[in-house]
Structure 1
Amino acid sequence: MFINKNYHKTTILLIILLLAFNSMGVYGESMFTDINKNHWAYDYVEKVVNLGLMDGYDDATFRPNEEVNIADALVYVTRLFNLPKEEVEKMRQEHDELLGKFQLSEERKDGLAIALSKGLVTEIFVENNLFTQGKIRTATKMDLTNYIAKTMGIEEEEGEVYVFLFKDADSIPKRSRPYVSFLIDKGILEAKGDGEGKFNPGQPIIRSVLAKMLSLSYDKMDINPVTPGVSIEDPVEPMGKEPVLGDEITGIITSKVDKYIFIDNGQKVDSYTFEKDTSITIDGNDAAIKELEPGMNIKAIVSEDNILKSLMVDSGKDIVSGTINKISLEASPSMVVDLDGGNMRTFHIPKDIKVWVNGKESYLFSLREGDKVKIEAFDDLALSISGESKNGKVIGIIKGRNFDEENMIIVERGNKTTYEYQLKEELLVYRNSSGVAIKKLRPGDQVILSISNGEVESVEANSTPGEDEGYIQEILISKEPKLSILNDRGELVVYYISPEALIKIDREVKSIYDLRLDYFAKLKLESDEIVNIQIER
């Protein structure tokens, strides 16, 4: 099996293939060629791949029905810990003698080392039960139940009796029953079992089922995932404090029921009620409870019993930009940002915040220390975060370029936002599968940028074919010749003329010098460049 540390690789490869056939839009709705949005597990698969918990294959497939072996299952499950590289290296050293006995990939050795260190498996298990008949054993539903429950930090209670509704409850090993009960309580396992009312502990786990279990587990994690750059010994300190008598809170209204409202202050969602004389204003104007709506940004004064003394709705928002200094994904997520102006600021992050990374809707988990961010904020509460990865891939369309002065490229991403990317001096550029000079890149080209330390180190580009027609309005003969036409949509459009452009007038091959104003020209395009001109007088 192919395991890929860069969880976007399969998506990138797929898009390269699609670009080559100029049919990117045909498959744009699906991340993989063998699973689409109608598949029951599509949302789970998309989420775990974006989070980096699972990977696809080099042939752009996910293989949702393929069985998972024990080693790969542990690779995927232990990614929930999101451990720093240095800690994994220490675990490898600790278990190097044992793992050296087996022919395993480095990725599988990493997963087993973490699993051994975290108590998911034992050395005896690895020595005696990892392989069967010379092959790594297939993972079962019981295996995954045990591993995920331990990863989520189950606390077993001595002497507890577990009662299940499964028809085959007796087949669940006694030692594993606490784990089954734990995952049922968390909503990861179905209390009623499968369609036949069975648990099926020995059933092989397939990749789509594993994706669902990992996705649900991530949402219910009781442990605190460690993000690179934020150590357990040096966490981001939570800001603010619990409301006390006369304390001020800042937050977002999440819902309203009768005279109760629920407010997310970035640390927790809590309910509040009103007094008869509670002062309520919306953007400075007096208002009533019925005018309050979910999504409103508020400042309030509350008593120790969560009674609102006053509540002010403020539609004002700040837009700040900077670099992530630290990020904490604990129960109350927060982010420390070095602002572009030189100051440092900490933001609380509410549960349902919208996050974009490189122009694509993503997850808070995907942001890293050193990434650039633009934050829409209300005081110290982040309302939305748009991040630009320090390292990674960006997919988009070239909208502008400045190679001579600033060595920059402007790219429009999937959500229609644009961003200026700094290009490295030693840049690898490919266009239509051929190595080219940077100046061969054209606005309109579809590109995949590889970014390292905040700069573009390579560009994979494909021209976008197109057509247009209209009356010639202007001809500019220069080092980069241009042609302006007034098309049938009433638009005055300027195109560059390729040095290799084929020009025919009345079916005879001509040159740019034979073109005249008011000729009606039919153009074939590659991005913003004319490659063929046909004129019939």
Structure 2
Amino acid sequence: MKKFRMKKWVKSTLAIIVVVFLVLTSVMYSFGAQMFTDVTDKHWAKKYVEDMASKKIITGYSDATFKPDKSVSRTESIVMITRLFDPKEIESVYEKNKSKYEKTLKNHGILTYANWAKEEMVFALEKDILNNEQILSAFIKDGKPQNALRWEIAVYLARGLGLEDELSKVVVLGFKDSNEIPSDAKPYIDILIKKGIINGKGDYKGNFNPKNSVTRAELAKMLSIGYELAHKDDNKDSNNNDNNNNEDKKEEVLTSIEGKIYDVITYNDNVTITILNSKGNKLVFSNDKDDIGIKWGSNNASISDLKKDMEVTLTVSGNKVYSIKIKDIEVEKEGYFYNYSFETNGGKILRFKINNKYEEYKMDDDTEITLNGKDTNFYELEKEDKVKIKLLNGNLKEVKAISKELKIKGILKEISSSKLTIEKDDEIYKFEVDDDVKVERKNKDAKISDVRIGDKVELKVKYGEVKEIEADTVKKTVEGILKEIKMAQTPEITILDEDDNLKTYKLLSGFEVEVDNKSAGLYDLRINYKVELTLESGEVIKIETDEETVKESFMGKILDIDTGDNIIELENKSDGKTLYIKYNSNTIIIDEDGDKTSEKKLDDDDIISVVGEDKLGSISADKIIIIDNN
């Protein structure tokens, strides 16, 4: 009894929710609400987009846009086409067959880059919408989804609508570019023409354009007509209207045309636009102004924004134009910052002096500003700072500024006669160096060649060019194990530091060596001595040691023994690297029982422990202990 009441309560609650949803939905549409911000009443595909969106076959983006002009990828097209089917059927087919196609989806990157589409992809494979698993190799390349072609979508949609039994064996298409259509695809295109989903006349040139991509708006239209066709038995009372609608839709084939505006004429409510295509031919299109959607980049625009020579993309059908997209116009200018001010509504205006004329632009939240290569705010800019500005469709998108005058301190990281790099507060700054730069080091006049990496410097910079350098040395000490001394015109010393990193330092002219607190020379030093180096701006001015050598231990498996050269090839257990162990008559060898033995007891695959000195390339063994004799 309790179970029955619970089921009844659930049904009642669901019924209330459904009623409320339907009421809210009807209220929303009664006020003419717009589903997507970029599909306005003027957009040619509005009814198709909203039809498919209301049926959950196509969805929008989280920012309330639909992106109607965005090309559809192969993966997206399959997802949208399979959504013509019952979601429960898709889920059921996926659960029964997912293991069957898991390897295929993984090998072709679907599970990695399009995991959201895995259910629809399995369904499409199982239902032969995709009749060959190898087709998936063209869906994603280098991690990026690939756009679907017009002929491909025609094939997928015809299969999705179950029209394969109606395909003609002999097909003659009337498009001028029929020879560019794959022969296997022609029957599918033919059946879609017969069903009123595709127009058999082609675009204004009579072409089908099989290798062009398809926009989200265009696919929405094809799916909307296809959905009506698939569900015509569910709407018998409106069959006549459906047929009439399909006849109207047959006459409306859309295509995109690129060109430059030649002329725009507005008369009453009609707009006529003339463009020049890439061949210089004039093409003329017109429509009621309320039926033309105009975009400039991602923003809505108006007829008044259309200017001669602007590059545009038109969406047309016959001689009617339905949308005009103005190509982004990017302009870069150079000049000097002048000042900024605020509008009464809080907007910010930046003024610049460019070619001896003052220009001002409004900045928005997306305007990027850098000063001396670092992100900053507009109020950090100063009068006469040098700037490069970038305008996108007349809007200020980027300001790159260089201070007129700048003083900055840091540690020198790189230097040449023309450039230098310093580090300050973990930030890197790069500057050009003036040919006549003034240099001081240790409070004495110097040349740029006297300045050392690691010096503490103060720079005086004008418009990004270093005019003065004041440098001083930075002293510090480092400790490690001596690994190599390189005798050259500029001697170098290599140590293994406390973090087990090999570091090489140059020896500054006049460097000192002390062994057990007594003056000595380089030749008194030995490999594996523990040493302390005193550095001045990264170069060694003093080496100190107490003659203490460092012994290290290594454990691993013997790979090979060369009894002629007394070398054991050992696989180091800690990192898997191969070590070369040198032994001699003074090397003590201990067996598993703790007794002394000879190298004859050693064999391949034995596990041994070695104590000795690492001499960069080989280990000089003092003692070898056999851990496991195989």
Under a length normalisation based on structure 1, what TM-score does the superposition of the two structures give? 0.36
Question: Which protein is bigger by CA-based radius of gyration?
Answer: 2
Q: Where is the strand percentage greater, Structure 1 or Structure 2?
A: 2
